[in-house]
Structure 1
Amino acid sequence: METLIEESPISGGREHFWGAVKIYTEKSHILNRKVCGSSNITIGFCNEDSYSDDIASVFIDRMSRDVRPNEMPLKCGTDNLECDKTVCFSNNQLDLQQIEHLRRLLQDKGFIFPYEDTKDCSLQTQPPDNHLGEDEPCSEFKSNVTLAKSEMSIPWHELSSYKKIAIAVIRKIYPKQLQKFAPQLELVLLDGWKTTVSYITRPMQQSTTALPRINYSFRLGDSGIVFAVITGEDCEVNTSDSNVLWLKNSVLPKLAKWATEIEEDGTKPERGSLTLLNVQEYNELYQRLKVKYGHPLVENWPENTDPQKFVFEDVAIATYLLLLWKKERELKGTTEYQTFVDLGCGNGLLVYILSGEGHKGLGIDLKRRGIWDTFPESIVLQEGVVEPSCKNLFPQYDWLIGNHSDELTPWLPVIAAKSKYTTRFFVIPCCAHDFDCKYKRQRAGMSQYADYIKYIKEVGVVCGFHVLEDRLRIPSTKRVCLIGQDRTYDIDESPRVLKAIDEFIQNRNEFNAKAPCENEGKSIKSVDQSGKRTADPLWSTNFKAREAVQPVRNCTRLKEEVKHELLSAVFSILLEKKHQVEVDVGCQKTVFWDKGRSINLGDLAKRIGSERLLALKKECGGLQTLLRNHRHMFSINQGEVSLQVPVPEWKATVPKDRIKTKQCWFHHNHYQNCPLPSSACIYAHGEDDIRNNS
């Protein structure tokens, strides 16, 4: 039984609907932050003539009665990267029983399984040649369906080509936090005739799950996408349930948005993450490295930066590289671990983790960090400048890494190409630099970042690499990585390629010389790998490395009176319109408090005015950076600025030694004061409430 909840209008047709559903089905982690990814276990097909109208409700009733909860181990018990994946995501007998149970339910409803993954579920079924009917010959259908045995793919194009086809997918959903959630089986039913997709899973017994605790569907209605909740007989739907609200307010609007971006052929530019790796292996290894390296580093972080961002970002990058290199060893049939150089290694965390996992490497950076002294002596980190010249080649290493390497970014493919024929590179472009100055945008039809990514790929191709592109799962807006792993030429063609590289660099420098360039005329000497100055000429005489000491430009050094004036202006603008919210103040009591309006960041900047923002123009990040530095006052969500609702102490994640160390802004500036009593607020309500740290 389906209960209609909401309909979101779209102007597209079947292809647009299935294109949007494909994104949500294959990349559900985009919206569900509890999920890491999924893998398809088996896929069945059915002629619409034998497909039951109430199959979704039937499955819910049958699964609730017959399928037992999935009992999965919550974490890996080994520190070995090469561990059998079945240790962490077990395909034990209970899993096989559930998969077999679901498959038989589907077979009872007329589904066939022409491409069984016998490794995972030990099932073999051959469909009859005429099962799909005379108007859709089975031979033609099978020739168009391609399913990889290692990870079965849903043939989305068939849903448009064959309207009388239904596809059933049994898949496993992998959560990000294995200590908190268990992997779950999910059944996805794709009805081509009714243009409907249904997501069915047995609600788990635990209080929290990675998947919504309801069964639901989306279908293409007369004027848009319809969201409905599926239940068994005599079950009522609570429309205020948090699962229903999340699907209604978060997923449905995204489906409608994606549908408008789909091309007429049902395709959409690929923007997924981890496309070159197995998501299941990635999640397993990330969780292990997070426990082994991440948590101890966060607890004993000696730097002044945010450990949550830097530590777990480097853990994610290390996870990606370790799996990339593991895959490379398997393809080459070798067990010898790759070596690496991290150019611009910063705090050295990436070098520390990769070295700890068995890869010998070197990290070089302009400035020594305090955290370096906490690493074991086996971690090789070096203070020095790396400039593009023949004295800075690394033929003894397999991989060059550029993690937000700034002015070295375009040089990574060049240094790799000139180091050795077998040297590879991995780079995460960030700030846009060319060979000898800031990068000048070449393509007006795309963002500067996308344009720069395209340019660095071009550099890699000129250097003779097959350049692969992927997206990392890191807390950064600049998370595209480029990989130069294989060459496009034979080793005896190296002189020709090296000559083409030099000509390309010269042409780029001549192009940049036609416009003012920040680094023009600043020729400097190079250094070798020991950090000593040499007279070796640079490949680009205008190249200039960053200064070891960078000016602080994060809005933290604004004059107090300027900062207070700007914050007060934003505060007043937000309180122009009233919006009462309910705040928990403890003892099962709540109070209503005026949170004020929400306003777009761009509109807010216009309201504040250019004169007030003049002081911020010299500060990297501007108004948004200033507001993010005051998270206890303001919230920025998808470009919308609003007041932060005060959080009581028992819900806050602030360390105990920082409670009551600052004055509460709302207590002193909000016309209703702070909604929390002094005993519940993590900030001080007056001078007498300030914590004494002496």
Structure 2
Amino acid sequence: MDRIPLVTSSTTFPLRNFWNSVMVYHDRPNVVNRKLAAVAPVLLCEISLHSPRIKRLSEIFTREALLYEIRKLPNLQMITPQFIREITESYDKNASIKECDREVFERSLEGQFVSLRILLPRGDQKKCLELVIFDRTAKSATFFAVQEQSEHIAAPRFPYHIELTPSDNLRIVLDTFEDADTSSAEWLADKLFPKLLKWTEDVQDKAVTSLSLVLPNEYCTLYAELKAKYGENLVKAWPQKANTDPQKYVYEDVAIAAYLICLWRRLGAENINFVDCGCGNGLLVYVLNEEGYRGHGFDIRGRKTWDLYEGRADLREGTITPESTFPEATWIIGNHSDELTPWIPIVALKSSPKTNFFVLPCCSYELSGRKYVRMNSAISQYEDYLDYVRNISVLCGFTTSVDKLRIPSTKRTCLVGVRGDASDVEEIQRRVSAFVGQRQNCEFVARESVEAVRNCTRLNRDLIKRIVGLVVEQLLKAECTIGKGDGQAWNRGGTLHLGELSQKIPAEDRKPLKNECGGLQTLLKNHRYIFDVKNGEVSLRPPPSLNECNKYKDKPCWFHANHPDGCLFRSETCAYKHVENL
């Protein structure tokens, strides 16, 4: 039966670009399919059938045949070439099935290959098997995820084919009209196909894949366990001790803990003894300690969240400097360690020959503790900073790997430095000392133990008054009048964007705002009785009446004293106190 073209590109592509696009999707389907957390490769085989009655290899790998063989398995990880042979034997007893590696596949210009892998869904859905058939000769790839009909599935339930046509157009093809009339077909056309086109154009795809240093299957399983074990209770208790979003910070640190445990298992690391430098809220240390890993966290000051762990996490107050060493540590952790980040490899180097490191850079800092200045303008500040830290790691003699974590953060690239069997430690330390000495202003400046207040409340009062007056003046230029109780007009002004207002403030007044968290927005929100700030836009907030609110009656009315039209209400009906000659 003829297949049904679902969507076809209007442009043509070279064969190399086509296969590049297909393999990006094969390796990282979770980039486009948000139902997936990761994939776990199980088997790659080269297959050759000699039966003339088989036109397409996909014809024999039916749902029924695959499910029949899957049900025999104790678990999906147990798949071997025999799994494929059991299906092909009915059609061709002389079929050639040879397990191969990725290099063999990429060198081949023709032939057929079968990839079997496990799709790992987000949430609590069951894992499922996906079969991928690569036909190098026909320039096509068939994807087919198989799951019991009663189970949810994180991919289309029918096979779909990505092909390069004889005229070199990219297209997706389905087997039946019934498949084409589904929401999954819409997803293939509207979501997957645009991504395939993009990847077809990006031949040199150098993006770091996520979870490349751990087993994705093991990570997803462990993360689900830790999330269930710690997540719910901590999310409930978090607001009692912190103003940060528990959905982000709790699950982010649980995910990092799951990653580290899987990394240590993959590396065969034993007798773990970690030090978390700049441990902040302490949650990562808590989870690792609770899971039986010895180690402690240092931070320059304690956090209220530490009380949540009831003494079951080894958290210590103290200052860590570039001179700090931890001879007993097998791993130095830098989780958003800010000024300490570029020093983490150096601290690990000086600690002991058995000390490795894990660092997750966030804010960019130089060795001096000052903000990092980008060296390579051809890439982003973040990418350039990652290169900077990686170069320090390599200089320190570590085998340095880069990976991406699955955390709710845009900055999720980590560096892992593993100590080799280097015998020239003294030479490495000499080179590192020379490198540090060559950096200008390289003397490290530690963060103060008392956190500076940067919420605009400590700014000069005259400065605050000037900025408030200027913003009100700008808003009132766009006249919008409403009626006062005495029949006169009251100008409530217009609405302006924060960026637009910021440009109206003189440079000398803008400079102090840059050192405050939130800048102008924070200052205006501190004056919520004057301004209404929503979605980056600012307008005047008319004063409430006494009927609406009576708890401010002992406080002076700002509008009565400062608005050109006075207050919107009379003295006896305004929620604030009208004081003359303020």
Write the distance in 1 (CA, Å) between the matches of 2:418 and 2:318: 27
Kindly report which structure 2 residues correspond to 1:223-238, keeping only aligned pairs within 5 A, or say none: 223-231=168-176, 236-238=178-180
2:25 paired with 1:92: no
**Structure 1: 4+ residue segments shifted above 6 A:** 93-99, 557-563, 619-626
2:247 paired with 1:300: no
CA contact (8 A) 1:169 1:188 kept: yes
SS of 1:468's partner is: strand
Write the distance in 2 (CA, Å) between the matches of 1:8 and 1:488: 52
CA contact (8 A) 2:322 2:444 kept: no
2:197 paired with 1:253: no
- Closer/same/farther in 2, CA of residues 255 and 374 from structure 1, 3 Å limit: same
CA contact (8 A) 2:69 2:83 kept: no
SS of 2:199's partner is: helix
2:251 paired with 1:315: no
Kindly report which structure 2 residues correspond to 1:393-432, keeping only aligned pairs within 5 A, or say none: 393-432=325-364
CA contact (8 A) 2:126 2:152 kept: no
Which amino acid is 1:278 matched to?
A: L
Which amino acid is 1:262 matched to?
A: V
2:316 paired with 1:382: yes
Report the alpha carbon displacement of residue 498 of structure 1 after superposing the two structures with TM.
2.0
Which amino acid is 1:198 matched to?
A: T
Write the distance in 2 (CA, Å) between the matches of 1:194 and 1:625: 61
- Closer/same/farther in 2, CA of residues 458 and 187 from structure 1, 3 Å limit: same
The one-character-per-residue Cα deviations of 1:205-243 (angstroms, maximum 9, x if unpaired) are: 236322223321111133532012224xxx63443x221
Partner residue in 1 for 2:117: 171
Report the alpha carbon displacement of residue 96 of structure 1 after superposing the two structures with TM.
7.0
Write the distance in 2 (CA, Å) between the matches of 1:288 and 1:560: 55
Partner residue in 2 for 1:38: 39
Partner residue in 1 for 2:185: 244
CA contact (8 A) 1:68 1:98 kept: no
Kindly report which structure 2 residues correspond to 1:241-390, keeping only aligned pairs within 5 A, or say none: 241-263=182-204, 268-301=205-238, 302=240, 303-329=242-268, 336-389=270-323
CA contact (8 A) 2:252 2:407 kept: yes
Partner residue in 1 for 2:96: 112
Report the alpha carbon displacement of residue 417 of structure 1 after superposing the two structures with TM.
1.1
Partner residue in 1 for 2:430: 499
Equivalent residue in structure 2 for 1:162, among 109, 114, 128? 109
- Closer/same/farther in 2, CA of residues 404 and 28 from structure 1, 3 Å limit: same
Equivalent residue in structure 2 for 1:442, among 375, 380, 403? 375
CA contact (8 A) 2:455 2:522 kept: no
Partner residue in 2 for 1:189: 133
Which amino acid is 1:226 matched to?
A: R
Report the alpha carbon displacement of residue 46 of structure 1 after superposing the two structures with TM.
3.6
Equivalent residue in structure 1 for 2:445, among 517, 532, 543? 543
SS of 1:113's partner is: strand
Report the alpha carbon displacement of residue 393 of structure 1 after superposing the two structures with TM.
1.5
Report the alpha carbon displacement of residue 344 of structure 1 after superposing the two structures with TM.
0.8
Write the distance in 1 (CA, Å) between the matches of 2:352 and 2:434: 19
Kindly report which structure 2 residues correspond to 1:514-529, keeping only aligned pairs within 5 A, or say none: none
Write the distance in 1 (CA, Å) between the matches of 2:95 and 2:404: 36
Which amino acid is 1:320 matched to?
A: Y
The answer to which structure, 1 or 2, has the higher relative contact order (CA under 8 A, 6+ apart) is 1
CA contact (8 A) 2:48 2:96 kept: no
Write the distance in 1 (CA, Å) between the matches of 2:23 and 2:445: 46
Equivalent residue in structure 1 for 2:500, among 599, 605, 611? 611
Report the alpha carbon displacement of residue 402 of structure 1 after superposing the two structures with TM.
0.4
SS of 2:362's partner is: coil
CA contact (8 A) 2:114 2:134 kept: yes
Identical-residue share of aligned pairs (%): 33
Report the alpha carbon displacement of residue 278 of structure 1 after superposing the two structures with TM.
1.0
Write the distance in 2 (CA, Å) between the matches of 1:29 and 1:12: 24
SS of 1:201's partner is: strand
Write the distance in 1 (CA, Å) between the matches of 2:451 and 2:305: 17
SS of 1:276's partner is: coil
Write the distance in 2 (CA, Å) between the matches of 1:385 and 1:358: 26
Write the distance in 1 (CA, Å) between the matches of 2:427 and 2:127: 52
- Closer/same/farther in 2, CA of residues 407 and 560 from structure 1, 3 Å limit: farther
Which amino acid is 1:236 matched to?
A: E
CA contact (8 A) 1:171 1:186 kept: yes
The one-character-per-residue Cα deviations of 1:30-60 (angstroms, maximum 9, x if unpaired) are: 2222223333433333458758434434533
Write the distance in 1 (CA, Å) between the matches of 2:61 and 2:430: 65
Write the distance in 2 (CA, Å) between the matches of 1:320 and 1:169: 26
- Closer/same/farther in 2, CA of residues 69 and 100 from structure 1, 3 Å limit: closer
Which amino acid is 1:545 matched to?
A: R
SS of 2:6's partner is: strand
Q: Which runs of 5+ in 2 are unaligned?
A: 457-463, 479-495, 524-533, 537-582
Question: In terms of Rg, which structure is larger?
Answer: 2
Partner residue in 1 for 2:563: none
TM-score of the two chains, using structure 2 as the length reference? 0.74
Report the alpha carbon displacement of residue 251 of structure 1 after superposing the two structures with TM.
0.9
- Closer/same/farther in 2, CA of residues 111 and 560 from structure 1, 3 Å limit: farther
Write the distance in 2 (CA, Å) between the matches of 1:95 and 1:368: 45
CA contact (8 A) 1:48 1:193 kept: no
CA contact (8 A) 1:39 1:280 kept: yes
Write the distance in 1 (CA, Å) between the matches of 2:171 and 2:518: 41
Which amino acid is 2:501 matched to?
A: R
Write the distance in 1 (CA, Å) between the matches of 2:455 and 2:426: 44
Write the distance in 2 (CA, Å) between the matches of 1:31 and 1:349: 31
SS of 2:115's partner is: strand
CA contact (8 A) 2:355 2:419 kept: no
- Closer/same/farther in 2, CA of residues 474 and 96 from structure 1, 3 Å limit: closer
SS of 1:345's partner is: coil
Report the alpha carbon displacement of residue 272 of structure 1 after superposing the two structures with TM.
0.4
Report the alpha carbon displacement of residue 634 of structure 1 after superposing the two structures with TM.
7.5
- Closer/same/farther in 2, CA of residues 40 and 427 from structure 1, 3 Å limit: closer
Write the distance in 2 (CA, Å) between the matches of 1:223 and 1:248: 18
The one-character-per-residue Cα deviations of 1:349-383 (angstroms, maximum 9, x if unpaired) are: 00001101111111111332112112132411122
CA contact (8 A) 1:188 1:199 kept: yes
The one-character-per-residue Cα deviations of 1:480-521 (angstroms, maximum 9, x if unpaired) are: 11111123621xx33322222211111112xxx5xxxxxxxx
- Closer/same/farther in 2, CA of residues 500 and 192 from structure 1, 3 Å limit: same
The one-character-per-residue Cα deviations of 1:574-600 (angstroms, maximum 9, x if unpaired) are: xxxxxxxxxxxxxxxxxxxxxxxxxxx
SS of 2:96's partner is: coil
* Number of corresponding residues: 484
CA contact (8 A) 1:8 1:253 kept: no
Write the distance in 2 (CA, Å) between the matches of 1:97 and 1:22: 22
Q: Which runs of 5+ in 1 are unaligned?
A: 72-89, 116-145, 148-152, 331-335, 514-539, 570-606, 627-632, 636-694
Write the distance in 1 (CA, Å) between the matches of 2:447 and 2:254: 27
Write the distance in 2 (CA, Å) between the matches of 1:96 and 1:411: 44
Write the distance in 2 (CA, Å) between the matches of 1:97 and 1:413: 40
Write the distance in 2 (CA, Å) between the matches of 1:97 and 1:342: 39
Which amino acid is 2:74 matched to?
A: N
Report the alpha carbon displacement of residue 550 of structure 1 after superposing the two structures with TM.
4.8
- Closer/same/farther in 2, CA of residues 561 and 305 from structure 1, 3 Å limit: farther
